Structure 1
């Protein structure tokens, strides 16, 4: 099938907005989460897997409302903490949010909505992707919950290959399959992430520290997809706060196509991968592996290495 621009012609359900209503709930007492966070949750009765999503460098959870809403509409709860990327132990804080889920999440959910904490997924974008990998690996933090899957959305491990520029902790070593996350891994990259924007000296997702390296160093089972015509920030909402808009539009190379297609592609890949790994519902995942043109954005370097 050609790239999708009209939802009416979509045949692969995972690339549509699902039928489950969802709401965005800012946290408040008495739950007392360790960090400010936003919960995206279905409102229809049911028990749902939980994704913890870590935002990118200098960004915030509300920059991803459309993407996270897409995922939630297919039957997931997303907890998106606001981490201080500059002046705190981000990995420790990210792990504390995971531990908070055990007692703090359920009281904040709508009536008749249940969190399935036996199915917890870690995900993140950019530096948040590195954070998700670090938490899953137990770097600087040990969590009480185990993880059913890890998803990096254009993850970044540093500004260059140089050791002093790598993001701490430094988990990328160049050794294939050295990252034992003890969970299935999906890495979704961008074709323009390694290209620098006009007048900016460094790209946002440089070679040697980007999605290619996270995929190559992950132990199977692991999947890899690259949105060829989109950039590092193109999965964000169309409208974001002024600073975040300047950051995403000027600091990183952007694609020319509508961000809507990128968000639908990333959301669809996440949902298809998780359905296959968490519930053994493999039809959508196998469909996109066999025919990447089903996605709204052009996908290249589609790979899946089984355990």
Structure 2
């Protein structure tokens, strides 16, 4: 990341009550796996398999799409999805095609746009009885390379001719340890990083969650999973206000995945030494606090509390920074 001067940040008063977003919410959650090849029509099946975590209780809830990382499975994020959903969100996680060859992100950006376009007609048919999706409050999130995919889609880089902006707008964007390539001179196409401050043309508030160990090598054989100059720090640097940057200092790039994620995958990245449930609850809690604020749930008090007192999180958040104007 290009060196940036310390920027003044508006003061936020911490909320009086201790936030509970780092523990599961009160709503029971149903996890629904939707196979695009077997769902009867009409309505149309999704263009890709999707994993959905939704509240079981009848009601109308905001929606958030979560895009998985490189060579990962959406099911590795089930605990994270359930935690966020238990606070009253419908979580939709598509499964991209996995390949060890990564020449471009264009196919995943296009697929994410198609899944988004499927939501108005297709999502209601697979939700629990009495549960309705409020697509006027739609968020987009992505982890690792999925963070690059999410930012690219929000920036209008979808290659499909039917773009989401024609019918749906993203009201919030989250990058979970986003990665845009292997280095500054080797960005993953499309190259979205400009190395200029506040250069992203985004209309929605943005939360960037980083990991303190993502830029470290696990061993001499493998590069860092979230290399400097293409990781969370640069993504935040290029966001316009309002934007937030919280780094989970003592954990690594894949530590928010479920415990049963294959070691063959997780061993490639530097790991923290502590309980992974702590990392999952920290990331999920940050997501809940931000989504409630950005989507008009709870007046933003949870986010104010975390920003005002990062010690509320189950593990150390450092740095914690934000720009509001």
Q: How does 1:86-235 map to 2 (within 5 A)?
A: 86=99, 89-141=107-159, 142-143=163-164, 144-162=167-185, 165-235=186-256
CA distance, structure 2, for counterparts of residue 189 and residue 57 of structure 1: 16
The reply on whether 1:49 has 2:73 as its aligned counterpart is no
CA distance, structure 1, for counterparts of residue 221 and residue 28 of structure 2: 41
For the residue of structure 2 that corresponds to 1:234, the secondary structure is coil
Deviation at 1:140, TM superposition (A): 2.8
* TM-score when normalising by structure 2: 0.87
Partners of 1:124 and 1:155 within 8 A in 2: yes
Q: Which runs of 5+ in 2 are unaligned?
A: 1-16
Aligned to 1:257: 274
CA distance, structure 1, for counterparts of residue 111 and residue 307 of structure 2: 35
For the residue of structure 2 that corresponds to 1:115, the secondary structure is strand
- Point out 4+ residue stretches in structure 1 off by more than 3 angstroms: 85-88
Partners of 1:41 and 1:109 within 8 A in 2: yes
CA distance, structure 2, for counterparts of residue 111 and residue 177 of structure 1: 43
CA distance, structure 2, for counterparts of residue 55 and residue 277 of structure 1: 22
Aligned to 1:288: 306
Partners of 2:18 and 2:305 within 8 A in 1: no
The reply on whether 1:19 has 2:30 as its aligned counterpart is no
Equivalent pairs counted in the alignment come to 292
Q: For each residue in 1:199-242, what CA deviation from the matched residue of structure 2 results, as whole angstroms up to 9, or x when unmatched?
A: 333100000000000001011110000000000000000112x3
Aligned to 1:64: 77
Partners of 1:191 and 1:230 within 8 A in 2: yes
* TM-score when normalising by structure 1: 0.92
Aligned to 1:3: none
CA distance, structure 2, for counterparts of residue 124 and residue 150 of structure 1: 9
Deviating more after overlay: 204-213 vs 79-88: 79-88
Q: For each residue in 1:73-130, what CA deviation from the matched residue of structure 2 results, as whole angstroms up to 9, or x when unmatched?
A: 0100011000125477111111000000010100111111000000110001000011
Q: For each residue in 1:260-295, what CA deviation from the matched residue of structure 2 results, as whole angstroms up to 9, or x when unmatched?
A: 011001011011111111116121111110110110
When the two chains are superposed, the root-mean-square deviation of aligned CA atoms in Å is 1.4
Deviation at 1:303, TM superposition (A): 1.2
